[in-house]
Amino acid sequence: MSLFSSRGSRYRFCGMLMALACSVPVCSGLAAENRKVIIDDDDSLSLAEATLLKAPGVDVLGITVASGNRWRDDEINRMLRGLEILHRTDVPVVPGAIYPLINSEKLTEKWESLYGRLIWKGAWMKQWVEPTNQPDPNYHAPDFVPTPADGNATTKPTKEIAANFLIRMVHAYPGQVTILAAGAMTNLALAERLDPEFASLAKELVYMGGSLNPHQQLSTVAAGQYAREFVNSPRREFNLRFDPEAASIVMHAPWRKITMVPSDPATATELSADFLHRIASRNADISKLVAHWQPGSPMWDEIAATVWLNPQIVTKSTQLYVDINTQFGAGYGDTLSWSPGYQPDLDEQKETVVETINPTALLATMEQILARP
Amino acid sequence: MSLFSSRGSRYRFCGMLMALACSVPVCSGLAAENRKVIIDDDDSLSLAEATLLKAPGVDVLGITVASGNRWRDDEINRMLRGLEILHRTDVPVVPGAIYPLINSEKLTEKWESLYGRLIWKGAWMKQWVEPTNQPDPNYHAPDFVPTPADGNATTKPTKEIAANFLIRMVHAYPGQVTILAAGAMTNLALAERLDPEFASLAKELVYMGGSLNPHQQLSTVAAGQYAREFVNSPRREFNLRFDPEAASIVMHAPWRKITMVPSDPATATELSADFLHRIASRNADISKLVAHWQPGSPMWDEIAATVWLNPQIVTKSTQLYVDINTQFGAGYGDTLSWSPGYQPDLDEQKETVVETINPTALLATMEQILARP
């Protein structure tokens, strides 16, 4: 019980910090910095991207995509359309990997026959195992591009592929580029194997991925349904499970700094109808962006983006060595972590792991940024 | 947060049940039943054994031992000595397996070099990785029997080996014998492979083993130190990790009923100096038994024994299919579980999994039973 009461006090403490932070514009100190970031993602343009695009002093060099939640070409169309709605077609969308390094749809079906059904399979998902209010999967071929509710994009992605773009950017701005990864890590792994200087030339890696020991914290129907993803598999998280080998390559690369945002802190959050209404009411572009969205999802990527913009939302973090299980077995793609002194010393890296955040501070930071013109 | 408040209300509900149960002697309904149990364990005689030995209407047919926390012969000496102190030398101590089926001390050291240091290795433990108040490991050869603080036993174990004893008992009392397993499952697996009728002839299996998603609940120093066992490995639990292949054999056997008591509910408990003092003050034999004990340990086996004696201490349970990972890799020995509909259907069994218990009711039940002459 003491854990919960101490968390309560941390929340209050952070509330004070946040009040302080909000007495001046959030991130006002960042404006002069011109922080450079490349977002690597696997879905539509989310509030994570929107917040980064609107944050003061942040230069989004590009958005690279790889298959994961959706097939890559579906993602490109949606990401471009999102940028059109936000009037940010200056930001390049860069096509990445269509397929993971080793993992595949067929392999995943064999895996399930041996080790049990997965809750979520992204682009490979045909139907839910049990009834849910979550949106139905839209299963289709890799090269089919369905028309989204807000229409098809008219702009085009770059000709350059993601791994090359990533390498070119860190060489152009050595030590200055943050890689904010919110999907499978195929593009980052390819970049690192094409150019072993890639990771060390970046400023840092901040990623949403992996899972330690999440527990359901909210009592909504949606929270209960999303909890199915971890209740019997606390170490499995979709982004890193989709391409375990790529994730393990990235976890062994010599980054200057790594911040892990696992699924754990997201259990305190839910994209609510109220929050969508609030941000829509303050900005016409955002209103258009979220017009067809359903509430209910944990705010996984939004936390990663906002932790980078405003580290004060973090209420508890720890230092752990991290790797991803690449052995084809029951634990394929599971997060492995070690407190210092227990790690196998096979060049796995020490990471700053975000364990809990202040959900009120998260929403306040996002709301303030998303209201900007 | 709702989870915690709902647990609060379950506690209150259970408190009422307990008050009801205690208005008549605990387990008074059991006296006529003459419930038969064989305890399979891997350490000294604990309060789990003591509670079962003193419970009204319970017939402990024998205590089988296998290596785990200690080497088997060390355990036999301690278990016999405990029975002498309790004047229960009528209960046979039955020697079981000295070695797990496949796992070994050497294999474990290779495993650690690849996958990281284990927190606890039982009989194979040479030293703690980091400083702790937990008792120092007493590393020695399998056939060396150290003299315990309360002296060596003068009584002897049976000539019959554990697997044969287990098989003989379930044939002698078909459908009547509960197997209460609190250590590695080597003896049970050998019994099942020697006689495929073994599991189905037992009444049920109740076991302390496996781990779902434990979280530290108490704020004591000891609770923090024991939490190291699961904080980076929520699916690893020592009993089943010591002999994963044996555990998987047992998880696939056709038991009539299986109750799993994983490490999760034990995070709400700690063997306190106060409780040791209370039970010692009410019974001279118990006072002698616990004279040299250190407080601080979670009450893993005591929960399993008491759940069987008084199921009302359970505040939350669920039905899951369960197996143990036998692949030699990062997840070797980890608990695998599936909600119905997700299991691979390879004859893994559906188990009743105890998720939370009422610690006050646990202690009240034990205290009342242990006070008996």
Q: What is the 3-state secondary structure (H, E, C) of chain B?
A: CHHHHHHHHHHHHHHHHHHHHHHCCCCHHHCCCCEEEEEEECCCCCHHHHHHHHCCCEEEEEEEECCCCCCHHHHHHHHHHHHHHCCCCCCCEEECCCCCCCCCHHHHHHHHHHHCCCCCCHHHCCCCCCCCCCCCCCCCCCCCCCCCCCCCCCCCCCCCCHHHHHHHHHHHCCCCEEEEECCCCHHHHHHHHHCCCHHHHCCEEEEECCCCCCCCCCCCHHHHHHHHHHHCCCCCCHHHHHCHHHHHHHHCCCCCCEEEECCCHHHHCCCCHHHHHHHHHHCHHHHHHCCCCCCCCCCHHHHHHHHHHCHHHEEEEEEEEEEECCCCCCCCCCEEEECCCCCCCCCCEEEEEEEEECHHHHHHHHHHHHCCC
Q: Which of A114, A116, A217 sits opposite B1 (nearest CB)?
A: A217
Low-confidence ranges of chain B (pLDDT < 70): 1-32
Residue of chain A with shortest Cα separation from B3: A217
CB within 8 A of B277, min separation 6: which ones? Answer: none
Tokens of B150: 């309360």
Contact A330 B336 (CB under 8 A): yes
Whether A22 shows a pLDDT value over 50: the answer reads no
Nearest-CB residue to B334 (from A228, A331, A337): A331
Tell me what pLDDT residue A135 has. 84
Q: Which residues of B touch A216 (CB under 8 A)?
A: 3
What per-residue confidence (pLDDT) applies to A13?
Answer: 34
Per CB distance under 8 Å, which residues of A are interface residues toward B? 1-4, 6, 112-117, 119, 129-130, 212-219, 228, 230-232, 234-235, 320, 325, 327, 329-331, 334, 336-339, 341-344, 346
Taking residues A145-161, report their average pLDDT.
Answer: 97
How far out from the chain centre does Cα B306 lie?
Answer: 11
Size of interface A-B (CB pairs under 8 A): 119
By Cβ distance, the residue of A1, A113, A329 closest to B325 is A329
Share of chain A above pLDDT 70, in %: 91
Beta bridge partners of B36: B59, B177
pTM: 0.91
Average per-residue pLDDT in chain A? Answer: 92
Q: How far apart are CA A198 and CA B114, in angstroms?
A: 27
Q: Going edge to edge, which strands form the sheet with A204-208?
A: A93-95, A58-65, A35-41, A177-181, A204-208, A258-261, A349-357, A314-324, A335-338
Q: CA A217, A219, A222, A225 torsion: positive or negative? A: positive
Is the alpha carbon torsion for A222, B265, B184, B169 positive or negative? negative
Interchain pair B219, A327: CB under 8 A: no
Q: What pLDDT is stored for residue A29 in this prediction?
A: 41
Is the per-residue pLDDT at A303 higher than 90?
yes
Cβ distance B117 to A341 less than 8 Å, yes or no, reads yes
Strand partners, A199: none
Q: Is the pLDDT of residue A11 over 50?
A: no
ipTM: 0.90
pLDDT in tens, A249-271: 999 999 999 999 999 999 999 99
**pLDDT at site B134:** 85
Q: Which pLDDT tens digit goes with each residue over A187-227?
A: 999 999 999 999 999 999 999 999 999 999 999 999 999 99
Residue A16, pLDDT score: 37
Q: What is the pLDDT of residues A219-249, one digit of tens each?
A: 999 999 999 999 999 999 999 999 999 999 9
Distance from CA of B219 to the nearest CA of A (A): 6
Q: Find the closest chain B residue to A217 by CA distance.
A: B1
User: Are A369 and B363 within 8 A, CB to CB?
Assistant: no
> What would the pLDDT profile of A335-352 be if each residue is shown by its tens digit?
999 999 999 999 999 999
Residue to substitute from A109, A118, A213, interface B, most B β-carbons within 10 A = A213
**Residue A295 pLDDT exceeds 70:** yes
